Amino acid sequence: MSELLQTPIEFLKGVGPQRAQLLQKELGIFTYGDLLHTYPYRYLDRSIYHKCSELPYIDSYVQLVGTIDNIKEVGTARFKRLSARFTDSTGSIEFIWFQGGQWIKQMLVAGLPYQAFGKAKVINGVWTIPHPELTPMNEVSKKAGFQPFYSSTEKLNQKGLNTKGIEKLVQHLFFQHDIQTKEFLPEHIIKEQELISRSEALKKIHRPNNEIDIKQARFRLKFEELFFLQLEMLIRKGTRIQAIKGHVFEQSGELLNQFYAHHLPFELTNAQKRVIKEIRKDFLKGHHMNRLLQGDVGSGKTLVALIAMLIAVGNRFQACIMAPTEILANQHYETIRELVKDIDIKLALLTGSTKKAARIPLFDALEKGEINILIGTHALLEDPVQFHNLGFVVIDEQHRFGVAQRGKMWRKNSIPPHILVMTATPIPRTLAMTFYGDLDVSVIDELPPGRKPISTIHRFDSHRLALFGFMRKEIALGRQIYIVYPLIKESEKLDFNNLMDGFEAISRSFPMPEYQVSIVHGKMKPDAKEYEMQRFIKGETHIMVATTVIEVGVNVPNASVMIIESAERFGLAQLHQLRGRVGRGAEKSYCILMTGYELSKEAKKRMGTMVATSDGFEIAEVDLQLRGPGDLMGTQQSGILELKIADLSKDGEIVNSARETAKQLIENDPDLLLPAHQKLREKVITLLKERPNWGTIG
């Protein structure tokens, strides 16, 4: 039977070569099977009748019952149309036909009750249904059922393949053929999850009779889709871990002991301890580690990274840490140098601005193994950078690096270095499970003690005077302030002007010499940027006016106020990142979101969320609801994952149970060798072949 589903779509009744080509191009439908798995995105209950006097909205599909009269041809000879009046108990609307009028005119019977169905429009101020679907009431089947709606495109529409046209093709598929689809899921899962059979689900998803049909069919198909995704992930993770050898770091190392005993500036949080344990376990296994570390801004990821690097170095390997910007790389270098200052360990810094003269000895020392930890930017990925024996790589702020760049680290050694990717942009659980299901994920879900929560306040532009007053007070207390402006590619010029206007206004209200104001933006030369940044870091300036160049990682503990201008134009993840720049010291900190009065519903929700919570994971969940998984993960990753029916932003519960089910299955029968799992095994083998490069990272 599966052969039938492999049949090219061209051969289905009503398709042919031309439409087949379009279906392939526009919707990716190549075979009968593809069509079968193209699901309606919504349904209209055909048992519900609307009233002429209460049509819901323009372009809504409506179903009416009433009679027709006043049938007449209108328009000019060149543009002739057929029109008719349609009346029910509440009023009248107009029907119109732009084509086939002659023929339709003969078919219509005035005064006969009809069921009418179509898309309601307003034409010349009158509610109108163009080309309604008409059925005499005495022919309307009692089992009205649900009208499915399929996605279509402009081009398909032109060839008659609107939702109705696609529905017809699906009908042909079912009428012409006895579609029997294979069941892949084992009986025990079907029972446990109370699923309907696959073949029943496919029938019901296209031709449901009631709400229950739709619910059951959707649940079954979503579960199946997510289950296979999770299963595939788990299997890949298993094979990856088995297949790729990794260095073993056996000793905890004198270095680490020394560090713990004398140089650890504070007690580690429980979350930090847990993550370090997870990493150490990986280091002992002899398999390659590919671990994602998620932790909110300020949760202390750097320290975890350093401790892991010290383990590598204690085992006579080199380690490196790569940051997305020079400022950050410098900052890591300073922080780490301070932390290990009395320990016998050699650090080096390599960024784009490392001078040529300095590079030669650096590369030489690196290759000889004289440098233990290299800190830098993506300059680390350049060809002349050769390690003696690189054992461990930390990548900070993961979202700034592409997969290909990470791949480069691999080629530098025969046994790949262990990899720890750190990100401060938490990914909602459902997404992490799906996108990074084959990675190991660690989470720091606890902030170091003694942090005072940041007060987040939403203010309208008109409060600016009060805001200036507040700023003066904070500065008088010895604090520093960030003011961030959006700078977005599409409206770069305008944004830039706003930034400059803002800078001028601030400079006027906070005049020298009493106040020092810095500005940093992307158009400045790196030297100038660095100079201004350093002035702020050293506390020489009170106010830093900037674009989001300061978004990631910068650590100025004395800064206590983050003002975000035009906050409505930032996404939640970015707002959260920016807020994370303050609250790093002991002082009470503030984040002030400035917006205009007119806010979209979504912008209101974003502001409300920021004010209500500072939990990065909670914010990420809201972000997922607002933007959907594709936008959240970036197209690069969402392309890998094209789900037909499940929605990662809404089906979190199904993701969970699919994950759990898959996990249990693999635990009980790791190679799917039980007779009850034979079909499942076949299906999984095809899936693994179809997507050979799924989820490779680093």
Which residues are near ligand ADP by CB under 6 A?
266, 268-269, 272, 295, 297-303, 424, 448, 555, 584
In this structure, the strands spanning 543-546 and 373-376 are unpaired
Residue at shortest CB range from ligand ADP: 300
Sheet containing strand 91-97, strands side by side: 121-123, 126-130, 91-97, 80-88, 61-75, 114-119, 133-136
- Only one of the segments 81-89, 185-193, 511-519, 545-553 lies at the binding site for Mg ion (rule: CB under 5 A); that segment is 545-553
User: Which span (515-523, 551-559, 579-587, 613-621) binds Mg ion, by CB under 5 A?
Assistant: 551-559
Give the CA distances from residue 80 to residues 75, 77, 102, in Å, rounded to whole numbers and listed in that order. 5, 6, 10
How many CA atoms lie less than 13 Å away from 52 in the CB half-sphere? Answer: 21
Long-range residue pairs from 599-608, CB within 8 A, at least 24 positions apart, any chain: 599/568, 600/568, 602/626, 603/568, 606/568, 606/570, 606/571, 606/572, 606/575, 607/458, 607/567, 607/568, 608/458
Helix axes 572-579, 616-633, angle to 10 degrees: 140
Minimum CB–partner distance for residue 264 and Mg ion (Å): 18
Strand 42-45 and strand 146-149: pairing? antiparallel
Q: Please say which residue, 439 or 447, places its beta carbon nearer to ligand ADP.
A: 447
697 binds, among ligand ADP, Mg ion, none (CB under 5 to 8 A by kind): none
- Closest approach, Cβ 290 to ligand ADP, in A, equals 20
Report the partner that residue 555 touches, choosing among ligand ADP, Mg ion, none (CB closer than 5 to 8 A by kind).
Answer: ligand ADP
The interface partner of residue 204, options being ligand ADP, Mg ion, none and the CB cut-off 5 to 8 Å by kind, is none
CB of 374: closest distance to ligand ADP in angstroms? 19
Indicate which of ligand ADP, Mg ion, none lies near residue 614 (CB less than 5 to 8 Å, by partner kind).
Answer: none
Q: Is 33 a residue that touches Mg ion (CB under 5 A)?
A: no
Nearest residue (CB) to ligand ADP, 235 versus 323:
323
Q: Which residue's CB is nearer to ligand ADP, number 315 or number 555?
A: 555
Q: For residues 298 and 416, which CB has a smaller minimum distance to ligand ADP in the complex?
A: 298
Give whichever of 617 and 694 is closer to ligand ADP, judged by the CB atom.
617
In terms of Cα–Cα distance, which of 402, 401, 395, 431 is closest to 631? 431
Q: Which does 377 bind (CB under 5 to 8 A by kind): Mg ion, ligand ADP, none?
A: none
Torsion of CA 9, 11, 17, 23, to 10 degrees: -20
Closest CB to ligand ADP among 302 and 434? 302
Residue 298 binds: one of Mg ion, ligand ADP, none (C-beta under 5 to 8 A by kind): ligand ADP
> H or E stretch including 95?
strand 91-97
Closest Cα partner for 422 from 450, 441, 447? 441
- Does residue number 583 form part of the binding site for Mg ion (CB under 5 A)? no
Least separation in angstroms between residue 545's CB and ligand ADP is 23
Do residues 365 and 348 lie in contact, with contact meaning Cβ atoms separated by under 8 Å?
Answer: yes
Q: Nearest 10 degrees: CA dihedral of 656, 659, 661, 666?
A: -160
Q: Which is nearer to ligand ADP, 296 or 565 (CB)?
A: 296
103 binds, among ligand ADP, Mg ion, none (CB under 5 to 8 A by kind): none
Whichever of 40 and 553 has its CB closer to Mg ion, that residue is: 553
CA distance 92 to 97: 17
Say how far apart CA 28 and CA 686 lie, in whole Å: 19
Interface with Mg ion includes 426 (CB under 5 A)?
Answer: no
Choice between 579 and 659, CB closer to ligand ADP: 579
CA distance 291 to 270: 19
Q: How far is the CB of 483 from ligand ADP (least distance, A)?
A: 21
| Closest distance to ligand ADP from the beta carbon of 341 (Å) | 14
Q: What torsion, rounded to 10 degrees, do the Cα atoms 606, 610, 613, 618 define?
A: 40
- Contact call for residues 559 and 543 (beta carbons, < 8 A): no
- Cβ proximity to ligand ADP: between 300 and 486 the closer is 300
| Comparison of 201 and 293: residue with beta carbon closer to ligand ADP | 293
DSSP string of 520-583?
E-TTS-HHHHHHHHHHHHTT--SEEEE-GGG-SS---TTEEEEEETTGGGS-HHHHHHHHTTSS
- Residue 269 or 547: the one with the smaller Cβ distance to ligand ADP is 269
Binding region for Mg ion (CB under 5 A) out of 303-311, 351-359, 403-411, 549-557: 549-557
Minimum distance from residue 405 beta carbon to ligand ADP (Å): 20
Q: Which stretch binds Mg ion (CB under 5 A): 217-225, 480-488, 504-512, 546-554?
A: 546-554
What is the rounded radius of gyration, in angstroms, for the C-alpha atoms of the chain?
A: 32
3-state helix/strand/coil string of 278-313: HHHHHHHCCECCEEEEEECCCCCHHHHHHHHHHHHH
Is 61:131 a contact under the CB 8 Å cutoff? no
Provide, rounded to whole angstroms, the least separation between the CB of residue 302 and Mg ion. 5
Among ligand ADP, Mg ion, none, residue 372 binds (CB under 5-8 Å by kind): none
| Residue 299, binding choice from ligand ADP, Mg ion, none, Cβ under 5 to 8 Å by partner class | ligand ADP
Question: What 3-state DSSP class applies to 593?
Answer: strand
Total number of residues that touch Mg ion (CB under 5 A)? 1
For residue 295, the partner it binds in ligand ADP, Mg ion, none, with Cβ less than 5 to 8 A by kind, is: ligand ADP
In contact, 545 and 517? CB cutoff 8 Å: yes
Lay out the site mask for Mg ion across 494-533 (x = CB under 5 A, - = otherwise): ----------------------------------------
Determine if 300 is a binding residue for Mg ion (CB under 5 A). no
Closer by beta carbon to ligand ADP, 437 or else 553:
553
Distance CA 691, CA 374 (A): 36
CB of 485 vs ligand ADP, minimal distance in Å: 23
- Report the first-to-last Cα separation within the chain, whole angstroms: 41
Give the chain's largest Cα–Cα span: 99
Name the amino acid, one letter, at 546: A
Q: Does 376 bind Mg ion (CB under 5 A)?
A: no
CA-to-CA distance for 288 and 246, rounded, in angstroms? 4
Query: Among the residues of 244-386, which ranges form H helices?
Result: 254-258, 270-284, 301-314, 326-339, 356-368
Neighbouring residues of 92: CB distance < 8 A, sequence distance ≥ 6: 52, 85, 86
Nearest CB to ligand ADP, comparing residues 288 and 584: 584
Residue type, 73: E
* Among 118, 298, 502, 553, interactor with Mg ion by CB under 5 A: 553
> Which candidate, 290, 234, 228, places its Cα nearest to that of 671?
234
Given Mg ion, ligand ADP, none, residue 448, with its beta carbon under 5 to 8 Å by kind, binds ligand ADP
- Shortest distance in whole angstroms from residue 146 CB to ligand ADP: 51
CB of 446 to ligand ADP, least distance (A): 9
The nearer residue to ligand ADP, 189 or 303, going by C-beta atoms, is: 303
Per-residue contact string for residues 119-158; x = within reach of Mg ion by CB under 5 A: ----------------------------------------
We find the least distance from the C-beta atom of residue 119 to ligand ADP, in angstroms, to be 52
Enumerate binding residues for Mg ion (CB under 5 A): 553
